[in-house]
Amino acid sequence: LKLDPVSRADVEAGSAGLDAILAHDEPRRTTGNDEGPTVADLMNKSGEYLPAPLVRLVVALKLASLAQGMSGARWELVQALETCLAQDLLPAMPSQSDSHRFALAHIFGLLTGAGEAESGGVRGPASKALRKAGYRPLTLSATEKTAILSGAQVGTAYALAGLFEAERVFQSGLVASAISAQAGVGAPASIHPRIPILHRHPGEIEVAAALRMLVPTTEASAAPDRTLQLASADVRRAQPGMGACLDLLRQAGETLQRETNAVTEQRLVIWQTEEIVDSVADVSSVALAANLIAIALREIGALSERRILALNGRAGRSKAGENGAATAPSNMAAAFVAENRERACAVRVKGDDATANRDGVRRLLPMAGTAALVIAIEILAAQASNAEVADDAIGPLDKVLRFIRETVPPSGGKGQVTAAGLATAADLVRSGAIAAAPDLALPSLLPAPREAAPFDLGRAPSGNKAATRISSA
């Protein structure tokens, strides 16, 4: 991570502006000396620590905010944060903090040498880590202390981490639905390609296009078996359902992108007009975005569970004697989906309620992990129902199935899922390895280019003036 050189001018202008304000406004010299717990009290937490990637994201967001020059921080402080990130020197943040202010206090402790630091997976005193890196602890002003201890960076980092994991789970869910289709449950390509275009939802259009690339274009089974017809419907439901989830994730992503670039510290220095103003500590936007991500994760898992039931129904018809083994994965998936359904209940959005907002964003990573387990169960069940892949097969799903068979430990028998196999498959889902296996550009948080999205249905008939008017509007 490297700052834009222009940011130094902004930071120095803000710092100079603060000095000018304090020079002719004596009462404001106490700015930043807020009542409340001391930094030592805030840092007095124990227990498990946050993972380094999440801490790195928190520090990067704090750096992006301070680098805009509206918090009164000196360039020396901003540069120190940039250097810590460049050298992978991070504060050790306990995960059981009562509020985000407690977590931010550990950034203060790192810079001043009063806390703990983590580098390369090794934790130790921050003062020792700074000396080893060739730096001395900083002496920070009251304004800088307030700037570090306030802000929405922790909640935003949790929400972003949940969003990124949800994207990988979503893409793996697409691959899983394609494997289920190839296993004989039904072909997503059987839906007419113009139907999602007529529905007008970008996510559904892109999902349909991706499934057509993953699954060879074949006609849906015309078998009169009612169970098979219902199973085919469950697989085809991946198009509108997963498309809606993609649209929700993108909407949440747009909100979090704005929040990433926001300045949310408690006290702001408007140096252009020589003002020091108190900001509003409200993170309603992050809380609402977290609700959208939670709903998407809940639905991704629920759609996968329905396909698992369809797969097991087909397995039960083909080998009735193995029905008990076939339903075991369904029972596991149902339990995981129920767990996420409870977590996805919308958290009341109250911008100044630290506890509610904290819980609203912190549920996302566990929800992504649970949804990954459901997708993993579907992948293992569908993979067992697929025929053996020839070594020279080069289709997108052939690559996925070959990758799974080479990576995931074998199951105990037909229709069974072992703990080791499930854990390995879930890790592949969360890491994005399953989504990367087909070697295709799957739908992501970034919308497809306008020219690449098949919105055009062709020219309307000359007599269809209503369609022409709607198109013009």
Domain ranges of the chain: 6-150, 155-267+281-452
The token pair that represents 197 in the structure block:
């275009």
The pLDDT of residue 185? 54
Separation of alpha carbons 92 and 300, rounded Å:
33
Identity at 473, one-letter amino acid code: A
Angle at 26 between CA 20 and CA 28, to 5 degrees: 80
The fold of 6-150 is Fumarase C; Chain B, domain 1 (1.10.275)
The fold of 155-267+281-452 is Fumarase C; Chain A, domain 2 (1.20.200)
Length of the chain: 473
Start-to-end C-alpha separation, the chain: 44
The token pair that represents 279 in the structure block:
């900001």
Q: What is the largest CA-CA distance in the chain?
A: 87
Residue 168 near residue 431 (C-beta atoms within 8 A): yes
Residue 147 near residue 265 (C-beta atoms within 8 A): yes
pTM: 0.86
The pLDDT of residue 241? 93
Tell me: the pLDDT tens digits for 316-351?
444 444 444 556 888 999 999 999 999 998 776 655
Separation of alpha carbons 135 and 83, rounded Å:
10
| Average per-residue pLDDT for the chain | 82
The pLDDT of residue 349? 63
Angle at 266 between CA 263 and CA 269, to 5 degrees: 70
The pLDDT of residue 260? 94
The pLDDT of residue 355? 56
Residue ranges for the chain with pLDDT beneath 70: 25-47, 97-98, 184-191, 216-236, 314-327, 348-357, 387-393, 411-415, 450-473
